[in-house]
């Protein structure tokens, strides 16, 4: 192993040596060899990954994935707009918090953390509240590992002529989807997720005709999605403010490696097989999944904590870390659980090694 441990989390995640090595050089944010040959290439590649349809563009935004979510929510919903938030986990809840902070009128569908939204629930609210103009949902809710029914929800949203915002933070690049076919107007993700880059920026893939309507809407200077897009369009990839150059260069390398692996379909197959090995191995050791398997994503899985009185997550975590694996604490409010991710530069052999390490770390058994 190149690192002291594998990060089995939903991001930041374990990256390849070559992605990390890409950060060893400094880059000038004014030079064409950075803006045209790296930033603009990335922007074009992201659109190609997202959809085969014309009419889409991409914007890169400094900061965490949440910064890109806030940039989108704050830049695309006009003063007289209203947002419907589908909330079944911490990240759906965060979208609602952003709307509240920005004084955006909104309605939240509160589903709890272990229930999927249904298309009918969205229909009922949209039909009863004509003031709603935008709908936001998380694709893969890593609170539990649940994959939400994006196609069914998008069908409803577009049939009512509303604007669809999808937080695809932990799914884009790892789960096949076509933004154009689904009718998604704004899709948000981050460098340090399934593309397998490092933290430092997020990105928004937008329907250009909708993004063009956003001039002057933003409630923030640094998080103005429209102005950032315009600057990149007019200046061949130039960022308005300091670009996270090393992170961007690493992402460029990560995109090359995604293509070399066989694209999103091949990565999805690897992640899926990783997750199947994980669940099968954990169940053989006596662990139980929080969610029904029909709700699982290939990204991260929640497991109930053992009920043994001597079990302690921090001790379990520390033993696994000493053996080269870092897992995630639980985030569900009404269940004692922990989470294990299987995305990043993580392969089937790694998952088998993990199961063996967990078997050895079960000091309470």
Q: Say which DSSP state 15 is in.
A: -
What DSSP string describes 227-275? Answer: HHHHHHHHTTT--SS---HHHHHHHHHHHHHHHHHTHHHHHHHHHHHHH
Question: Could you tell me which of 206, 112, 125, 173 has the C-alpha nearest to residue 298?
Answer: 173
Angle at CA 174, nearest 5°, toward 168 and 176?
Answer: 80
Find residue 165's DSSP bridge partners: 136, 186
Cβ pair 167, 178 in contact under 8 A: no
| The length of the chain, given as a count of residues | 365
d(CA 9, CA 327) in angstroms, rounded, equals 6
Assess contact for 200 and 19: CB atoms under 8 A. no
Helix (H, G, I), strand (E, B) or coil at 23: helix
Is 339 assigned a ligand-binding role in the annotation?
yes
Give, in order, the Cα–Cα distances in Å from 336 to each of 56, 67, 241, 290, 329.
42, 29, 43, 9, 9
Q: Which of 250, 271, 274 is nearest to 262 (CA)?
A: 271
Beta strands in the chain (DSSP E): 6-7, 56-62, 82-87, 105-110, 134-138, 140-141, 146-147, 163-167, 186-190, 201-207, 300-304, 325-326, 328-329, 337-341
**For the chain, how far is it from start to end, CA to CA, in angstroms?**
29
For residues 301 and 339, is the Cβ–Cβ distance under 8 A? Answer: yes
Output DSSP code: residue 305.
P
Measured distance CA(21)–CA(314) in Å, rounded: 32
Known binding-site residues equal 339
Known binding-site residues for substrate equal 339
């Amino acid at each position: 192993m190149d690192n002291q441990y594998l990060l089995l989390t939903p991001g930041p995640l374990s990256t390849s040596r070559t992605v990390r090595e890409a950060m060893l050089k400094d880059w000038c944010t004014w030079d064409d060899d950075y803006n045209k040959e790296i930033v603009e290439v990335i922007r074009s590649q992201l659109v190609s990954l997202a959809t085969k349809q014309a009419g889409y563009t991409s914007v890169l935004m400094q900061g965490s994935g949440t910064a890109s979510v806030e940039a989108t929510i704050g830049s695309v919903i006009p003063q007289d707009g209203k947002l419907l938030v589908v909330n079944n986990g911490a990240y759906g809840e965060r979208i609602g918090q952003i709307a509240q902070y920005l004084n955006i009128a909104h309605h939240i569908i509160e589903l709890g953390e272990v229930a999927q939204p249904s298309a009918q629930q969205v229909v009922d609210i949209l039909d009863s509240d004509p003031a709603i103009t935008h709908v936001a949902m998380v694709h893969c809710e890593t609170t539990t590992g649940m994959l939400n029914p994006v196609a069914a929800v998008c069908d409803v949203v577009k049939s009512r002529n509303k604007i669809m915002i999808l937080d695809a933070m932990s799914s884009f690049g790892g789960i096949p989807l076509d933004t154009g076919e689904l009718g998604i107007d704004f899709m948000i993700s981050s460098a340090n997720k399934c593309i397998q880059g490092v933290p430092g920026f997020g990105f928004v893939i937008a329907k250009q005709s909708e993004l063009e309507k956003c001039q002057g809407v933003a409630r923030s200077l640094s998080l103005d999605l429209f102005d950032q897009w315009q600057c990149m369009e007019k200046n061949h990839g130039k960022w308005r403010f300091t670009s996270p150059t090393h992170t961007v260069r690493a992402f460029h390398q990560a995109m090359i490696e995604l293509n070399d692996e066989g694209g999103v379909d091949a990565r999805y197959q690897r992640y899926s097989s990783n997750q199947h090995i994980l669940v099968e191995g954990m169940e053989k050791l006596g662990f139980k999944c929080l969610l029904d398997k029909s709700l699982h994503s290939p990204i991260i899985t929640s497991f109930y904590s053992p009920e043994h009185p001597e079990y302690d997550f921090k001790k379990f975590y520390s033993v696994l870390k000493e053996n080269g694996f870092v897992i995630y604490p639980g985030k569900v409010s009404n269940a004692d659980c922990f989470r294990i991710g299987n995305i990043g530069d993580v392969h089937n052999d790694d998952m088998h090694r993990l199961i063996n390490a967990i078997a050895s770390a079960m000091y309470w058994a």
